[in-house]
Amino acid sequence: MVAKGDMVYAWTSDAEIAKKAECGGAVTGLLKYALENKMVDAVLAVKKGADVYDALPVLVTDPKDLAATAGSLHCGTLLLSKTVKKYLAGAKDRKIGMTVKGCDLMGLYELSRRNEINMNNLLLIGVNCGGTVSPVSARKMIKEKFGVDPDSVHKEEIDKGQFIIEYEGGHKGISIDELEDEGYGRRSNCRRCKLKVPRQADLACGNWGVIGDKAGKATFVEVCSQKGAELLDKAIKSGAIASEAANPKGIEIRGKVENAMYKLGEKWRNKDFSALKADPWGTINKETSRCIKCYSCIENCPVCFTSADALKKSSYMITSGEVPPNPMFHLRRFAHISDTCVNCGQCEELCPMEIRLALFSHAIRVEGDAAFEPKLGAPAYKN
Ligand code: FAD
Ligand code: SF4
Ligand code: SF4
* CA dihedral over 368, 374, 378, 383, signed as positive or negative: positive
pLDDT at 107: 97
Q: What would the DSSP string read from start to end of 349-381?
A: HH-TT---HHHHHHHHHHHHHHHH-GGG-S-SS
Strand pairing category for 203-206 and 122-127: parallel
pLDDT at 378: 54
Task: For ligand 3, say whether the CB of 351 is within 6 Å of any of its atoms.
Answer: yes
Phi, psi of 240 (to 5 degrees): -70, -30
User: In what order do the strands lie in the sheet containing 162-167?
Assistant: 153-159, 162-167, 170-175
The answer to whether the beta carbons of residues 220 and 206 sit under 8 Å apart is yes
Query: H helices of 96-152, where?
Result: 102-113, 135-144
Neighbour count for residue 374 (Cβ, 10 Å): 8
H or E stretch covering 165 = strand 162-167
Nearest CA to ligand 3 atom 1: 291
Phi, psi of 49 (to 5 degrees): -95, -120
Pocket test for ligand 3, best of 297, 311, 331 (most atoms within 8 A of CB): 297
CA of 185 to the centre of ligand 2 (A): 13
Task: For ligand 3, say whether the CB of 161 is within 6 Å of any of its atoms.
Answer: no
User: First and final CA of the chain: distance in angstroms?
Assistant: 32
Ligand 1 atom nearest to CA at 220: 47
Three-state SS for 99? strand
CA of 187 to the centre of ligand 2 (A): 9
The answer to whether the beta carbons of residues 324 and 290 sit under 8 Å apart is yes
* Ligand 1, CB cutoff 6 Å, lining residues: 21-28, 45-46, 55, 69-74, 76, 99, 101, 127-130, 132, 158, 205-208, 219
CA of 139 to the centre of ligand 2 (A): 19
Please name which ligand lies nearest the alpha carbon of 74.
1
Three-state SS for 170? strand
Ligand 2 atom nearest to CA at 79: 4
pLDDT at 169: 86
CA of 357 to the centre of ligand 1 (A): 26
Q: How far is CA 17 from the centre of its chain?
A: 22
Task: For ligand 3, say whether the CB of 304 is within 6 Å of any of its atoms.
Answer: no
Q: What would the DSSP string read from start to end of 221-280?
A: EEE-SHHHHHHHHHHHHHTSEEEEEPPHHHHHHHHHHHHHHHHHHHHHHHHHHHHHHT-H
CA of 5 to the centre of ligand 2 (A): 23
Nearest CA to ligand 1 atom 44: 206
Distances (CA, A) of 225 to 100, 170, 221: 15, 42, 12
* CA dihedral over 187, 31, 108, 202, signed as positive or negative: negative
Low-confidence ranges of the chain (pLDDT < 70): 307-308, 311-312, 314-315, 373-383
Please name which ligand lies nearest the alpha carbon of 220.
1
H or E stretch covering 176 = helix 176-181
The answer to whether the beta carbons of residues 187 and 359 sit under 8 Å apart is no
Distances (CA, A) of 235 to 3, 67, 222, 229, 377: 14, 16, 15, 10, 37
Ligand 3 atom nearest to CA at 298: 3
Task: For ligand 3, say whether the CB of 296 is within 6 Å of any of its atoms.
Answer: yes
CA of 72 to the centre of ligand 1 (A): 4
Please name which ligand lies nearest the alpha carbon of 284.
3
CA of 265 to the centre of ligand 3 (A): 26
> How many residues in total does the chain contain?
383
pTM of the model: 0.95
